[in-house]
Amino acid sequence: MPQSPALSRMPSPLRGIVPPLATPLSGRDELDLAGLDRLIEHVLAGGVHGLFILGTTGEGPALSYRLRTEMIQRTCEQVAGRVPVLVGITDTSLVESLQLAEVAADAEADAVVMAPPYYLPFGQSQLVDYTRELVAELPLPLFLYNMPALCKTWFARETLAELLPEPRILGLKDSSGDLAYLRDAVELAQSRPGFTILIGPEALLAEALTFGVHGGVCGGGNVFPEFFVNLCAAYEQDDAMGVAAWQERIERLQGLYRISPHPSAVIQGVKAGLACRGICADLLAEPVRALAGEDRERADQIIADLEAAVNRTSA
């Protein structure tokens, strides 16, 4: 397959903060278009280096294919090439993944992102075969997404090593939270110049940067994108005090994710934070519900405290 134009547009490696964009909803299977536009402009104003849509924070697997298609098209139209757009195509069906990839290519997205298919179990050799078959038919380059907590299957070290020579696989987003695995991935990637390694768990971003990770796909970047952008900038400038200061704010932001005992607590927290900041409603894809009552009041207080801290700093 010839090299796609997107392959040459993508920075190599892709550095910085690529937030996993939330999907603003106005009702069941209804995209909040105005909220999406506000969210995109909010994160771009925060200095992010790309957008990743239809991932975990974006509730991709919980959305209808019609809504996913609309999300891809609207996001690419609004971004208009200002930063790379990565589109999640994770699915239990190879055919559906390929169809979403075609939508992404038609909308002029820059790459697609795939975690291992979930529900039906399979082994590492099957994962290698599946990934190679997918890559051979994709109209865009691919990022691998390691999300074992939800997919139950890892891109094991040996699997990553086997897939690394494929030129149309541009990088890995690792959300395992396993820093030993992440160090191995960084070491492996040294044999492939330009291969991108990004971390998902945002509380580990500062530590991960110290051993060669290129940036983060941080859910909190929806709410306060500048926290993460500024942390990366401080690290690049060898500003240890700056890194520590931004890390402290990120840790305070993590309070949003500890409010709910629900397994989707991070998504609930991100959307509550966005609602508190007036960016979009906190409606989630069913069956998950928004924070309510005292839980929502706790979210409001976390956001108010962080906004006050930001205002004091900028005053």
Q: How far is CA 18 from each of CA 32, 40, 254, 272, rounded to the nearest angstrom?
A: 21, 12, 18, 20
Residue 10: predicted pLDDT: 81
Mean pLDDT over each residue of the chain, to the nearest integer: 95
| DSSP letters spanning 131-187 | HHHHHHH-SS-EEEEE-HHHHS----HHHHHHHTT-TTEEEEEE-S--HHHHHHHHH
Whether 7 shows a pLDDT value over 60: the answer reads no
Band of the pLDDT at 312, cuts 50, 70, 90?
Answer: confident
Query: For 40-97, what is each residue's pLDDT tens digit?
Result: 999 999 999 999 999 999 999 999 999 999 999 999 999 999 999 999 999 999 999 9
Q: Can you tell me which residue has the tokens 């990004």? A: 198
Whether 6 shows a pLDDT value over 90: the answer reads no
Contact (Cβ atoms closer than 8 angstroms) between residue 28 and residue 286? yes
> 128: closest CA among 164, 93, 171, 96?
164
Q: How many helices (H) and strands (E) does the chain have?
A: 13, 10
Query: For 104-113, what is each residue's pLDDT tens digit?
Result: 999 999 999 9
Residue 311: predicted pLDDT: 87
d(CA 290, CA 298): 13
> 218: closest CA among 37, 46, 10, 38?
46
